[in-house]
């Protein structure tokens, strides 16, 4: 029997992509939600992508008409945590692609993972997650002889900066170099900054237009420079990865997983 998936925030930019990806996967679409009061409440979810699903859009997870095995959530930190509370009570697995959480919110999510399987990632693109593994290996081989800078670009509507993906890249590099990212991250330079601290990992943020997502990690040494980049041209790359994670998560015990676990790469563990 196929696993049943629900999508939170289906009317958003990512929600529509997730709907399309889910409908072309091995999962059965069991429900879709929008914000309370949204004009789409009661409509067939398929109308968002020009199809018919027979699944009615609701504004509350408790109003879903069928059982759900896994919820995919790319909404906002506050909404995601509300949905997480519901999923814990109902023993529903959850895939979380929301970014911008506080330390306290992340701690609450990790506590919830003792009761249900959670897959949390800043980026569900297969390419980005392969790149995280490459960055860790590259940093370990290069050591402290190269300065590290991370440049990321996104559309004008993105509300958090640096992106969760950029931070994940910074963490991959910092971990490989034995550094604490919180201690060495530099999120902006202005005025007379003095010489660069060689332990620093710098971040630069670009916001504009409809840029889906671009990330470059620069390793700058004496006489040579290495640039490792990933550019997303469609949100479907993220949606397809999230749906793949949802299918994988249904067979897992409670735990805090990420996309590296789904793909079986890197050095992460539940």
Nearest to 49 by CA among 71, 86, 23, 30: 23
pLDDT of residue 270: 35
The model's pLDDT over 173-183, given as tens digits with 9 standing for 90+, comes to 999 999 999 99
pLDDT greater at residue 73 or residue 267 = 73
Mean pLDDT over 209-224 rounds to: 97
Which DSSP state fits 44? B
Q: What is the mean pLDDT of residues 23-50?
A: 92
For residue 266, is pLDDT > 80?
no
Annotated catalytic sites, by residue?
154, 158
Query: What percentage of the chain has pLDDT greater than the value 90?
Result: 87
Angle, vertex CA 266, rays to CA 125 and CA 78, nearest 5: 50
Residue pLDDT, tens place only, 172-216: 999 999 999 999 999 999 999 999 999 999 999 999 999 999 999
Q: What is the pTM of this model?
A: 0.83
Q: Is 143 left (phi over 0), alpha (psi -120 to 50) or beta?
A: left
Residue 21 has pLDDT above 80, yes or no: yes
The Cα 96–Cα 110 span in angstroms is 12
Contacts of 244 (CB under 8 A, 6+ apart): 25, 124, 126, 262
Rounded Cα gap, residues 9 and 142, in angstroms: 42
Nearest-angstrom CA–CA distance, 234 and 205: 20
CA 173 distance to own-chain centroid: 18
Give the whole-angstrom CA distance, residue 173 versus residue 223: 21
Question: CB 158: neighbour CB atoms within 10 A?
Answer: 16
pLDDT digits (tens, 9 = 90+) for 231-260: 999 999 999 999 999 999 998 999 999 999
**Would you state the pLDDT for residue 269?**
37
For the chain, the farthest-separated pair of C-alpha atoms sits apart, in whole angstroms, at 63
pLDDT confidence of residue 1? 62
Mean pLDDT of 64-92: 94
Answer whether 230's CB lies under 8 Å from 237's CB. Answer: no
pLDDT for 25 beyond 90:
yes
């Amino acid at each position: 029997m196929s696993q049943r998936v629900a999508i939170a925030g289906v009317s958003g930019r990512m929600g529509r992509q997730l709907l399309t990806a889910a409908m072309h996967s091995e999962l059965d679409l069991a429900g879709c939600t929008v914000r309370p009061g949204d004009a789409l409440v009661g409509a067939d979810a398929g109308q968002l992508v020009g199809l018919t699903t027979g699944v009615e859009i609701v504004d509350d997870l408790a109003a879903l008409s069928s059982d759900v095995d896994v919820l995919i959530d790319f909404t906002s930190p506050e909404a995601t945590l509300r949905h997480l509370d519901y999923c814990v009570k109902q023993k529903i697995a959850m895939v979380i692609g929301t970014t911008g959480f506080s330390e306290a919110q992340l701690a609450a999510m990790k506590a919830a993972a003792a009761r249900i399987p959670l897959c949390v990632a800043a980026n569900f693109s297969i390419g980005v997650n392969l790149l995280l593994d490459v960055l860790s290996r590259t940093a370990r081989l290069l050591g402290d002889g190269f300065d590290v800078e991370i440049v990321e670009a996104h559309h004008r509507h993105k509300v958090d900066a640096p992106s969760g993906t950029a931070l994940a890249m910074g963490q991959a590099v910092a971990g490989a170099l034995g550094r604490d990212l919180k201690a060495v991250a530099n999120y902006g330079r202005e005025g007379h900054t003095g010489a660069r601290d060689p332990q620093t990992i710098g971040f630069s943020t670009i916001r504009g237009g409809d840029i889906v997502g671009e990330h470059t990690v620069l390793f700058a040494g004496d006489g040579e420079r290495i640039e490792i980049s990933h550019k997303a041209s469609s949100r479907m790359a993220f949606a397809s990865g999230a749906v793949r994670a949802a299918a994988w998560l249904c067979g897992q015990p409670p735990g805090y997983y990420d996309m590296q676990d789904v793909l079986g790469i890197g050095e992460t563990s539940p």
